[in-house]
Structure 1
Amino acid sequence: MIRLEHVDKVYRTGHGDTQVLTDVNLDVRVGERIAIIGGNGAGKSTLIRIISGIELPTRGTVDTRMKISWPLAFSGAFQGSLTGVDNVRFICRIYGRDWRDALEFVDDFAQLGKYLREPIKTYSSGMRARLAFAISMLIEFDCYLLDEVFAVGDARFQARCQEELFGKRADRAFIIVSHDARFLYDHCERGSVLRKGVLTHYPTLVEAQESHDEYMRSAQP
């Protein structure tokens, strides 16, 4: 289970404090697939980073009793001066994987060719995302965090991502952030709407999406 209780997130800026999340509560059980829906700037990516442990909440508690992935395609932990190969070896040492087998998988999955042996700092954002996703598939997690991951790569890469996640790991939990409603309907069972940092839960994804769509229409000038 993953449980967030009364989570707030406040960023301190030169213009004062900015509250991004307010009193967020969320439960995720084994095998559940939950969509987090919201407009730009609603706090979705911040929420995903807090669930993953990349960031800490300002207040509240995050109780994780599952093995949780980092946000898929997140490349913030890469060492830019090291090559893609070196980063694969580093991750494998942390998780006890044989790096030689892992490297063959990553090379085939990410399709970076010679750039896999070049420093990460020379990569485009799309190349970094593809490498990060491929490395994510090396480790087995109980819950996977997706934050617009399928916006990167060509059709072959996206099809491979679909098979690895929703085919081979169909029994895992997923928390998915996406603006693609069709994608959410294909893969999620229920939804929650994040609006101005406040998370509201709905029993079905249809109700969550309809609530979000109605709000967005009303907010238009």
Structure 2
Amino acid sequence: MVIVDHVTKYYMVNFRKKMVLDDVSVAFNPSRSYGLLGQNGAGKSTFLRLVAGAEEPNKGRIWRNTRISWPLGFSGSFHPKMTGRENAIFLARVYGANIKQTLDFVYDFAELGPDIDAPVGTYSSGMSSRLAFAVSMAVEFDVYLVDETTAVGDARFQQRCAAAFAERRARSGLIMVSHSVSTIKEYCDTGMILANGKLLIFDDLNEAIERYRQMMM
């Protein structure tokens, strides 16, 4: 279970508060798949980073008693001066995963070749995303966080990503951010809308999508 308990998150922009979450409380069931919709700038990616623990709220708490991934494709958890291999080892240790199995999977899946031993700070954005996705798939999580996309790279690599993600999703929960209604329908069974600092949750996914479409008109 992931519990967001009276969480407030804002940034100071030009000496004014930009509110992302305004006293939001919600409990996520790890057996459900949640699709988060919202306009550009609503704070959807920030919300995922808060759930992942990559950012802290200004007020409130987020309780986690389940293993949560970092946002897939997000490389902010990597140390730029460490190599891809060293980052994978570090994350495997943090999450208690088997190091050899993790490295074998990452090396095969990310297809970085000898660059696996180069500092991550020298990687292109695509290489960093492939490494992040590979490590996310190598370590078993109870809840996966997905920001906008489930795949990176060329069409062949995207197919591998989709297959790996489908296998994990069969036994894990999901919180997904996407502007694509078709993607939300494909992966999610519960809808959420983030607007003006408030989070609305809909057990009926189609109701959430219809409300979102009305907001965008």
Give the TM-score, by structure 2 length: 0.92
Please tell me whether the aligned partners of residues 43 and 196 of structure 1 are also in contact (alpha carbons under 8 angstroms): no
Residues 169/185 of structure 1: CA separation in 2 closer, same or farther (3 Å cut): closer
Q: How many residues of Structure 1 are paired with residues of Structure 2 in the alignment?
A: 217
| Residue 112 of structure 1: aligned partner | 112
Alpha-carbon RMSD: 1.8
Residues 169/200 of structure 1: CA separation in 2 closer, same or farther (3 Å cut): closer
Please tell me whether the aligned partners of residues 106 and 131 of structure 1 are also in contact (alpha carbons under 8 angstroms): yes
Please tell me whether the aligned partners of residues 33 and 188 of structure 1 are also in contact (alpha carbons under 8 angstroms): yes
What CA distance in whole angstroms lies between the structure 2 residues aligned with 1:103 and 1:50? 28
What CA distance in whole angstroms lies between the structure 2 residues aligned with 1:179 and 1:110? 26
Q: Is the aligned partner of 1:203 residue 2:194?
A: no
Query: Structure 1: which amino acid aligns with 2:23?
Result: D
Q: State the 1:99 CA deviation.
A: 3.0
| Residue 83 of structure 1: aligned partner | 83
Percentage identity across paired residues of the two chains: 43
Cα shift readout 1:69-126 (whole Å, capped 9, x = no counterpart) = 1112221121112221121222223334443332221122111223222211111112
What CA distance in whole angstroms lies between the structure 1 residues aligned with 2:92 and 2:107? 14
What CA distance in whole angstroms lies between the structure 2 residues aligned with 1:75 and 1:28? 24
Cα shift readout 1:114-140 (whole Å, capped 9, x = no counterpart) = 322221111111211110110112211
What CA distance in whole angstroms lies between the structure 2 residues aligned with 1:17 and 1:35? 27
State how 1:46-57 maps to structure 2 within 5 Å.
46-57=46-57
| Residue 160 of structure 1: aligned partner | 160
Cα shift readout 1:38-59 (whole Å, capped 9, x = no counterpart) = 1111010111111111111112
What SS does structure 1 have at the residue aligned with 2:138? coil
Unmatched segments (≥5 aa) in structure 1? none
| Residue 144 of structure 1: aligned partner | 144
What CA distance in whole angstroms lies between the structure 2 residues aligned with 1:173 and 1:102? 21
Please tell me whether the aligned partners of residues 37 and 178 of structure 2 are also in contact (alpha carbons under 8 angstroms): yes
Cα shift readout 1:129-157 (whole Å, capped 9, x = no counterpart) = 11011011221111111112325222222
What SS does structure 2 have at the residue aligned with 1:194? strand
Q: State the 1:13 CA deviation.
A: 4.3
Unmatched segments (≥5 aa) in structure 2? none
Q: State the 1:191 CA deviation.
A: 0.3
| Residue 41 of structure 2: aligned partner | 41
Please tell me whether the aligned partners of residues 33 and 188 of structure 2 are also in contact (alpha carbons under 8 angstroms): yes
Please tell me whether the aligned partners of residues 137 and 168 of structure 2 are also in contact (alpha carbons under 8 angstroms): no
Spell out structure 1 runs of 4+ moving beyond 6 A: none
| Residue 28 of structure 1: aligned partner | 28
What CA distance in whole angstroms lies between the structure 2 residues aligned with 1:65 and 1:77? 20
What CA distance in whole angstroms lies between the structure 2 residues aligned with 1:95 and 1:212? 36
| Residue 174 of structure 1: aligned partner | 174
What SS does structure 1 have at the residue aligned with 2:115? helix
Range 98-107 or range 135-144, more displaced: 98-107
